[in-house]
Structure 1
């Protein structure tokens, strides 16, 4: 199958959860994406690695979480990278690999508010169309104002997506595991089983 429109969803996925999957699926439907590729980060520049499960575990959990959706793929392009991983480097590689595809980078509204602190913002916005998905707790007016500012400054279109509110975070899941609370229905069962079998986040 030729991929005309490819969604890209990067993240630490520490662990991946239902909220991530909902954003990906709703983006796929809204923007008529042929596939969404999940890319777990390797060594992200802005995360505290003390709380980060190793790259292989996060990659496997992402595969487990997405395996029942034929429209989802998972890439190890970043988890195989030993140096600090920047989004712009990954997007450049993907634009070469999928040179005949239109690329869409799916991210949360919080990332759009912070995107000018990312490495090479101008190049990022030139490589692909950004989709900003709302999350609970973010001021929509602030997000829309930021989108307008970025579109004017960089002359690039940024799309906006309102998703069904699901107040689940990886931080919350890790905290519940540490405290011995249930995480049932917060992430797919295969991921839950993997976490407990590997004794992660204890």
Structure 2
């Protein structure tokens, strides 16, 4: 009997990717015995960004560099190679075709995004294709979150689990600001990514 692979999907702007992203992915991989985590840098996001994202090829390269040392991590260019706005439902449908074998897809996102899940494009269809893992985040109302999960589970049969992971006080915004201000970003992200930022002169004001 063929063993079904369990694959985690982790999308994000990754501008830049940092140890917070990597630790979250590894903790969830280990906790749920996932075979692989696929990092998917966002191409053109459907929601407004607080800042104009760095060129997508730079973000893709930084994600490649950051994940290279972990054999369970891989990076997909499925979204960045598109010029149109990309939505989770379209990406998941495409991945299901690309794998061409039975797989279980686990969509990793923040617990705050779970609360807004019913605003996503074709979310009723999306919950049929993936299991959601919502990573705990400070400031999320636990009562509202649990109510939303119960509602989605009862109405749509959605499979949503919450995962509590150690919080690292690292953010991409802070890293960008530090580079702009000439401050050190060492130990906030992999050295390979730090070197790439320096070489390509990213985030300079």
Q: Same fold (TM over 0.5)?
A: yes
Rounded Cα–Cα distance in structure 1 between residues aligned with 2:189 and 2:48: 21
Q: Do 1:136 and 1:166's aligned partners in 2 also have CA atoms closer than 8 Å?
A: no
TM norm structure 2: 0.92
Greater mean alpha carbon deviation, residues 8-17 or residues 44-53: 44-53
Rounded Cα–Cα distance in structure 1 between residues aligned with 2:120 and 2:38: 21
Are 2:78 and 1:114 aligned?
A: no
Corresponding residue pairs, total: 201
Match of 2:139, SS state, is coil
Q: Do 1:108 and 1:133's aligned partners in 2 also have CA atoms closer than 8 Å?
A: yes
Q: How does 1:109-188 map to 2 (within 5 A)?
A: 109-188=111-190
Rounded Cα–Cα distance in structure 2 between residues aligned with 1:183 and 1:140: 32
Match of 1:10 in 2: 11
Rounded Cα–Cα distance in structure 2 between residues aligned with 1:194 and 1:38: 18
Match of 1:51, SS state, is coil
Rounded Cα–Cα distance in structure 1 between residues aligned with 2:188 and 2:162: 25
Rounded Cα–Cα distance in structure 1 between residues aligned with 2:33 and 2:115: 25
Offset, 1:15: 0.8
Match of 1:70 in 2: 71
Q: How does 1:16-95 map to 2 (within 5 A)?
A: 16-48=17-49, 50-95=51-96
Match of 1:7, SS state, is strand
Q: Do 1:56 and 1:79's aligned partners in 2 also have CA atoms closer than 8 Å?
A: yes
Offset, 1:140: 3.1
User: Which ranges in structure 1 are unaligned for 5 or more consecutive residues?
Assistant: none
Greater mean alpha carbon deviation, residues 174-183 or residues 184-193: 174-183
Match of 2:203, SS state, is coil
User: Which ranges in structure 2 are unaligned for 5 or more consecutive residues?
Assistant: none
C-alpha distance after superposition, 1:117-153 (max 9, x if no partner): 2111111111100100012333333322322222122
What CA RMSD, in Å, does the superposition of the two structures yield over aligned residues?
A: 1.6
